[in-house]
A and B are shown apart, each in its own frame.
Chain A
C-alpha cells in the first residue's frame, strides 16, 4: 500500500522499530508514520495530537488517536508501557523539552526524537549576517508567530542527553535539501534534521 509521502526523518525512524512493537507517537500529525509502522512493522499503539484537522486525518486512517496536549505531560501512561515512544519534529514546540524527554523515557523502553537543527549553516547565516531570526523553507515561521519555541542544535541536544544520563543508541542526520557529503563532514553545521534513538541506562 502506498501512503502519502513521508518526511525523510520518518523514513529513517522505521529502521529502529522492531516488528510488533507497541508505539506511542507524540504529536502524530496526520498519522502517516503511525499508519506506516502499523502496515509494515505490524506495530500497534496510539498517536497523541491536538490539531483538529490532524485528528480527523487520523480518524480517516482508522488510527487510535487521542486528543491530548503534550505540555500536560504523559501522566496517564504507565511506566514502560510502550516499546518505543516517538516524537518527530515536535520537541522544539514543547514548553519544557527536558521534562518531555524524561517522560518519554519513563513511558517507553526506548524513544526516538527528531528535530530541526538550529545550528545549520543557514540559521547561523541568518543570525550572524542578516541579524534576523532564521526563516527558511524548513522553518518557515516568523519569530513572533511560531509553534517552535525551544530550538536547539545537535550539540545542545547531546549535552542535554549527557547531563540526564540518557544513552544515545543511534544518531542520524538527514537532509531534505542540502547535499549529503557536507552533513557527513560536519553534521552540526550542515545537517538539517537530527534523529536520535535513545534509552535510559548504561553503555552509551
Chain B
C-alpha cells in the first residue's frame, strides 16, 4: 500500500453512478427498460466542453482506469501508466471519462444485477450485447455529462473496437479515434480461444446453466481456467520465458527423490486465475467474449472496411505491438489500409515490444512518446485560444 500517492497519479478517486430510466433498445432486438452505468472521471471539463476523452475498456477492464480508491489499494487503476497528470492522457489537459460497460460486473447493470421482471439475478437471461450497444450507452452517458463531442475516444483491444464503432455511429461526436492493439474483426483462432474459455466456465459443475447466483454459488474453477487461457494469449513466449523461465517454485528433479514439482509459471497462472475468478462474473465473461466474437466493423457495409470508414469524420491514431499475436500488427495494418483507402486522416505507429498483447498496458518508452505527442496535439486543438506548441 502506498504511504503517499505518486505525483503523477490522479490520486484518490471515487466511482460515480448514472441511472438511465429511458428504455435502451439493443442490437439483439430487446430493450433494457432501465440501466445504470458506474464510471470514473479524472481532470476537469473545460468551459466549452472540448477537452473530454472517453476511455473504452477491454475484456477484463472496468471503470477504474487510473488512481486509487483508497490508501490501502495495492495497485492503481488498469491504465494508470498512461492516464494522469503529465502522462500520455494528461489529466491536467483532459477531462477523462471511463465507464464500466453495460453487461460488466463492476457496478454497471449486467448479468449479476437483479432482473426487475423476476426479482432474481439476470444471469444467463441478460440480453446478449454487441459492441454497438456499449457505444449507445456511452453516448447516453456523454449526454448526461453534457459532452456533445469527445476530443478523443480511446481504447485498446476490445476497447479499440468500441472506438471504431463510435467513429462510424456518431461521426460528429468525436474528433479523434485512438485505436490501440485492436482489430476490425476477430480471426478464427481468436474466436477459438474465446470459445475454449467459455467451455471451461460452462463445464464447471457450479455453473448451473448460468443460474449459479440463484443457487448461491459461483463457477470459480471454470472462470479461473478461462482466465488462464486468456492470460497466456495476452503474453508472448518471450515475456513468459523472461518472467518465469523454467524456474521451480517448489519440488525438485533430483534422482531418488519424490518431491512434486511446481513450475513458477504454473503457480503464477493459478494465482492470476483465482484472483480473477474472485472478482469477475462468469456470465459477464461469456457475454463480453461473445460481443468480441460477433464484432465485425464492416459487416453492414457490404463487408467493405473502406466503405465503412468513409462514414468517419475524425482523425485516427492506430498503434500496434510487434509481439502481439492475439491482436497482431497485421490486424492494425488492415485498419490503417482501410482508412487509407477511405482517404481518412490516420497516423500509424508499430511499436517494437516483446510483451505481447499486454504491451498496450505496460510502460514502453516509444509507445509513451508517440501516444503522448499525439494526445498533446489533441489538447492543443481543444484550446481554441491557442497556447503555443
Residues of A within 8 A of B (CB): 22, 46, 52, 55-56, 58-60, 62-68, 76-78, 81
Give the residue name and chain of the A residue nearest to B373 (CB).
A59
- Complex contacts, B341 vs chain A, CB 8 Å: 78
Give the residue name and chain of the A residue nearest to B306 (CB).
A78
* Given A66-B346, A66-B347, A56:B340 Cβ within 8 A: no
- Complex contacts, A22 vs chain B, CB 8 Å: 343
* Given A56-B373, A62-B377, A76-B340, A67:B345 Cβ within 8 A: no
- Complex contacts, A62 vs chain B, CB 8 Å: 377
> Is B148's beta carbon under 8 Å from chain A?
no
Cβ-defined contact, A67 with B348, below 8 A: yes
Extra contacts, 16 of them, besides A46-B340, A76-B333, A76-B337 (Cβ < 8 A), are A22-B343, A52-B370, A55-B349, A55-B370, A56-B370, A59-B373, A59-B374, A60-B373, A62-B377, A63-B347, A64-B346, A65-B348, A66-B336, A66-B340, A68-B348, A78-B341
> Is B303's beta carbon under 8 Å from chain A?
no
Given the complex of chains A and B, what is the CA–CA distance between A81 and B370 in angstroms?
Answer: 28
Chain B residues numbered 334-373 whose CB sits less than 8 Å from any CB in chain A: 336-337, 340-341, 343, 345-350, 366, 369-370, 373
Q: How far is the CB of B122 from chain A (nearest CB, A)?
A: 44
> Is B28's beta carbon under 8 Å from chain A?
no
- Complex contacts, B376 vs chain A, CB 8 Å: 60
> Is B389's beta carbon under 8 Å from chain A?
yes
Q: How far is the CB of A2 from chain B (nearest CB, A)?
A: 13
The answer, among B343, B348, B373, B389, for a CB contact under 8 Å with A66, is: B348
* Given A59-B370, A59-B377, A77:B340 Cβ within 8 A: yes
Give the residue name and chain of the A residue nearest to B349 (CB).
A67
Cβ-defined contact, B389 with A60, below 8 A: yes
The answer, among A56, A68, A81, for a CB contact under 8 Å with B369, is: A56
- Complex contacts, B348 vs chain A, CB 8 Å: 65-68
- Complex contacts, A78 vs chain B, CB 8 Å: 341
Q: How far is the CB of A104 from chain B (nearest CB, A)?
A: 16
- Complex contacts, A66 vs chain B, CB 8 Å: 336, 340, 346-348
Given the complex of chains A and B, what is the CA–CA distance between A56 and B376 in angstroms?
Answer: 12
Q: How far is the CB of B21 from chain A (nearest CB, A)?
A: 42
Cβ-defined contact, B373 with A64, below 8 A: no
Give the residue name and chain of the B residue nearest to A76 (CB).
B337
Q: How far is the CB of A72 from chain B (nearest CB, A)?
A: 10
Given the complex of chains A and B, what is the CA–CA distance between A25 and B333 in angstroms?
Answer: 18
The answer, among B343, B366, B374, for a CB contact under 8 Å with A52, is: B366
- Complex contacts, B374 vs chain A, CB 8 Å: 59
Given the complex of chains A and B, what is the CA–CA distance between A58 and B377 in angstroms?
Answer: 11
- Complex contacts, A59 vs chain B, CB 8 Å: 347, 349, 370, 373-374, 377
Given the complex of chains A and B, what is the CA–CA distance between A67 and B389 in angstroms?
Answer: 24
The answer, among A60, A64, A68, A77, for a CB contact under 8 Å with B345, is: A64
Given the complex of chains A and B, what is the CA–CA distance between A149 and B368 in angstroms?
Answer: 33
Q: How far is the CB of B250 from chain A (nearest CB, A)?
A: 43
Give the residue name and chain of the A residue nearest to B375 (CB).
A59
Given the complex of chains A and B, what is the CA–CA distance between A86 and B228 in angstroms?
Answer: 49
Q: How far is the CB of B175 from chain A (nearest CB, A)?
A: 12
Given the complex of chains A and B, what is the CA–CA distance between A59 and B368 in angstroms?
Answer: 13
- Complex contacts, A67 vs chain B, CB 8 Å: 348-350
Give the residue name and chain of the A residue nearest to B345 (CB).
A64
Given the complex of chains A and B, what is the CA–CA distance between A25 and B346 in angstroms?
Answer: 14
Given the complex of chains A and B, what is the CA–CA distance between A147 and B194 in angstroms?
Answer: 45
**Nearest 10 A-B pairs (CB), nearest first?**
A76-B337, A59-B373, A66-B348, A67-B350, A67-B349, A64-B345, A62-B377, A65-B347, A59-B374, A60-B373
